[in-house]
Each structure stands twice: as structure tokens, then as C-alpha cells.
Chain A
Amino acid sequence: MDYPQIVQYCFAGITVGSIYAIVGIGFNIIYNTTGIINFAQGEFLIVGAMTAISFSQFFPLPVAIGMAILITILLGGLVEITFIRQVRNASILRLIIITIGISILIREAMLHIWDEKVRFLPYFTGTDTSTVTVLGAHISPQVLWVLGVCAVIVLGLTLFFKYTLTGRAMRACADDRMAARLCGINDRWMVTLSFMLSAGIGAIAGCIISPIAQTQYDMGAPLAIKGFTAAILGGLGNSMAAVAAGLFLGLMEAFMVSQFDVAYKEAVSIVILLLILVFRPSGIFGRHEINVLRTM
């Protein structure tokens, strides 16, 4: 491989990797406030992208995407209020299985609304043939969009959790639910909010990746598995680690494709997922306490 080619693969890797990272963060946000792994996370991406694609026929692209994000956020809130909240005193495992049910439900609903055709949003800038030359490699401007938007999401979330009262309240719920309630924080609303937030960033990720990765009703599950691998690899609950893990996963996949058959690409994350679950369930960056998940 020559130098520009390596750069090329690197960009391909961090592009998908940053999407995995966003999905992983989506897992973490919900996991932190509830202890649930929300397996409908991948569906949020597809709902966001599909809605944006439909709206883009009537509205300019930014408006369409904005509306799609809003609708997905509402869907996330609705999912929490109608399913998760109603189950009282449920074990975490039961709630996780409910999220699997929700993901199937959303997928089937999408099949009915949008059929099984592959769709995509138009490129945000330029067309599918326009390229930008970076370090000798030719990359699509959409790649830069993906990287930029993902960076903004990560930065925005960090600031939100660190400096806003609502963000702090969400962290407080994750830290000690009872103490948070005693502070006057409505923990149920915080859980709803965490679903809305996850759905929102999911929708954004779904939209920005749609022009290059395309969108189909059943693409949520594979994305969820990749994002889940990123979350687990980094250590559940740790969003910054999920970013590192997501990028790593993306790079691994990209170089796998460069060396072996494309068919093995999907195997990478599954193999990593299995290795992590068997040998280091608290994740690479994780500390021991995350192990509670095993004993749950």
C-alpha cells in the first residue's frame, strides 16, 4: 500500500468509526441513566435518515434533516413513555428484551411506511463524484461532514453533561438515583430525556451517513451491533472511551477490507465483541465496577 492509499483507508475507517462512536454514545447515554442497553438504538438512525429522505422531497435539505431529527427525538420519548416507563419494578434484563421488541416493531413499521428499497439523502455539498484532496488522498466532502458533525456532537454532549444543570441532573441520576430524587430531580423525566437525546444524536448520525452508506429499513440492527461493540469495547457508560473504541473499530474494518476479502469486514466487530465479552467485560478503558452488568 502506498501512502495516499493508507490515508484513504484511514479516512474510510474513521468515517464509519465515528458513526459507530455516535451509536455507542447513544447506548451509553441510556445505559447511564437506566442501566438498560437500548437495542432499538440502530433503528433511531434509520428512522432519522428515512424521515429526512422523505421530507427532502418537499423541503430544502437542512429543514428536512431538522424535522427528521425532531421527529426521531419525539419517537425516542414516545418509546420510553409508552414502553419502558409502564413496566414497573422490571428487571434490567426484561427491559433490555423489551428494547429488542421495540427495535423489531420499529423496523417492521418502517418496512410498511417506506418499503424495502435502498434510499439515500443527497450529498450535503457537491455530488457523489466530487472529491477533496487531503494528504494525497481523494475523499468525498461528505466524509468531512461526517467527521465534523460527529466531532460537534461529541463536544456538544460533553459540554452539556459537564456544564448545564440538566446535564448534571442526568449524571446525578446515573450516579445515585435516590439521592437525585431527594435533590428534587424528576428521575423519570431524566430517563425520558436520555431516550430523546439518544434518538436525536442517532437521527443526526443516520442523516449524515445516509449519502455515503445509503439507507434501508433493516440497516439498524447491524449498526446497533457495531455501536454496541464500540460501547462495550470502551467500557459501558464511558462516552469518550466509546469514541476511541468506535474509531478503532472503524479503522480495523477498513484495513481488514484492504487486506482480506470484503466478506470478512462484518466479522471484525463480532470477533472483537466476543473477545471483549469473554476476556474483558469491563472494556479496555473500563474499571471494575462496570462488571455489575455481568451479575445482573
Chain B
Amino acid sequence: MLRILNLEAGYGLLHILKGISLHVLPGEAVAIIGANGAGKTTLLKTIAGILRPRSGTVVFNKQEIHRESPEKIVAGGCSLVPEGRHIFSTMTVKENLLLGAYHRRRKCTAADIAASMEEVYDLFGILRERANQLGGTLSGGQQQMLAIGRALMSKPKLLMMDEPSLGVAPLTVRDIYKTIARLKQNGLTILLVEQNAQMALAVADRGYVFETGQIVLEGTARELSDNPEVQRAYLGKDYQKINE
């Protein structure tokens, strides 16, 4: 579904991604874990078209998308839930969701879009209750749900999520991850970026470990969670515990 080859990207003089190659198969959930500043967010922004890569290719659904605009990429079925949620805080929950379906405005009827909205409401019941409330008045977790719901409104084939657990209460994080697991079961392909490696690896099939803009490790979620290096660095277990 998604294949990235030798991707290099950065901001100005900052060279962040140094030759990233990875792939995501249809129906798969792939996690990218790594510390702050490893380039995880930069990768997702580059795939989504917000950032132009310096070199390398991004192939999505057999089409090269690394020169496309974000609008085209969303319309092609690749949707990003950005880090920090970025919901429209001055607009209502319903308006946020409607805008998520913006690229479908000519292809779909109002009934189709209302049906998608119902699906999102079924996933996140709280959004239905708060439909007419302004996005900015929601709690962190609810905003995250709204951000995911808004991305789902575009009917993506690949859903990319950037740190969905960031700034969300632990209990809500569990809810959100349950929903992510449900989306995966329904056949949605997922690319997930997380610092919360435990959560991410629990839902993912495979994972990549990023360090300073490079992939240092890859494998199935099982392999990664069993890897002592990953355990030490990202799962919060110290050497002692591993050695026991």
C-alpha cells in the first residue's frame, strides 16, 4: 500500500530524515517508535505532502505521491491525524467532521457523508453528544477522538496517526487504542507514530525503530517488544529487569 524509498527530508538547514525506506502492506498496522527528534513526525508530514522531500520516493497505491499537494494525497486516500490534534477549535464538532469529508464534496451525496458521520459517532459516542459544541471546548482526549474522526471522514485507505496518546488522560488513551484496534479489524491500514511504544506495539503487526532520522531496527511487533534494546530504551524496563 505504501512504499518509501531512501527518503530524505528536513527543514531549512536541518537535515532530519536520512534515507528512510519502509513499507506498509494493505490491512497492516505498522508502528514507528523512537525518541523525540528522531524524525517520526517529519516522516508523516512528508508522506502527507505538508513537507517536500529532498530526495527519495513515496509510492502510495502504486502512485508516486512525493511531489503531490496534501489535497491530492488526502483525496487519494492517505489521511494524517497530525501531532497535537490540530482540530478546528473555533468550529463545532460537527463542522470539524464535515470538513474532514471536504474532498468528497463532489463525489458523494450528502447522505453518504451523513452515513460516514454516523460511523464516526458510533466509534466515538462522546462526539455525538458534543456535536454542536466548539472543538476548542473539548478535553484533550475528546479532541484526539475528533481529530481521528475527522480523518476517518475522508474515507482513507491508509490512516496515519501521529502520537495519538500525547496529552491524553491514560484511561482515554486506552479507549483510543481500543478504537484503533477496532479500525484495524475492520480492515483499515494504519501507520502509527508513538513515543508510547508499549501501546503502539500492542496494536501493531510490525514496527520500525527510528533514531536520529534513520531506521535502526525493524521487525514484527512481537520481536520488537522482546528486543532488549527496545525494552530498555522505549518500554521503560531497565537492565536489571531484563536480566532477571
Contact = CB atoms under 8 A, between A and B. Distances in A.
Instruction: Tell me, yes or no, whether A binds B.
Output: yes
A175 B80 contact: no
Given A171-B91, A175-B88, A183 B50 contact: no
A63 interface: no
B15 interface: no
A175 B70 contact: no
A182 B154 CA distance: 10
A168 interface: yes
A171 B49 CA distance: 21
Nearest to B96: A172
Interface of B: 48-50, 69-71, 74-75, 79-80, 82, 86-91, 95, 98-100, 102-103, 105, 150-151, 154
Interface residues of A, number: 16
A186 B49 CA distance: 12
Contacts, number: 66
B187 to A, nearest CB: 22
Nearest to A186: B71
A168 B95 contact: yes
Contacts of B99: 165, 168-169, 172, 180, 183, 185
A274 interface: no
A165 B91 CA distance: 13
A176 interface: yes
A186 B74 contact: no
A179 B71 contact: no
Contact of B90 (A171, A178, A184): A171
A179 B82 contact: yes
A288 B86 CA distance: 20
Contacts of B86: 176, 178-179, 182
* Interface SS of chain A: helix
A165 B98 contact: yes
Given A165-B105, A168-B98, A172-B99, A182 B88 contact: no
Nearest to B73: A184
- List the 8 closest A-B pairs by CB distance, nearest first: A184-B103, A184-B74, A179-B86, A181-B70, A175-B88, A184-B102, A184-B71, A183-B99
Contacts of A181: 49-50, 69-71
A176 B96 CA distance: 11
Given A165-B105, A178-B50, A178-B86, A183 B95 contact: no
Given A175-B90, A183-B150, A165 B48 contact: no
A182 B98 contact: no
B102 A185 contact: yes
Nearest to A174: B90
Contacts of B71: 181, 184-186
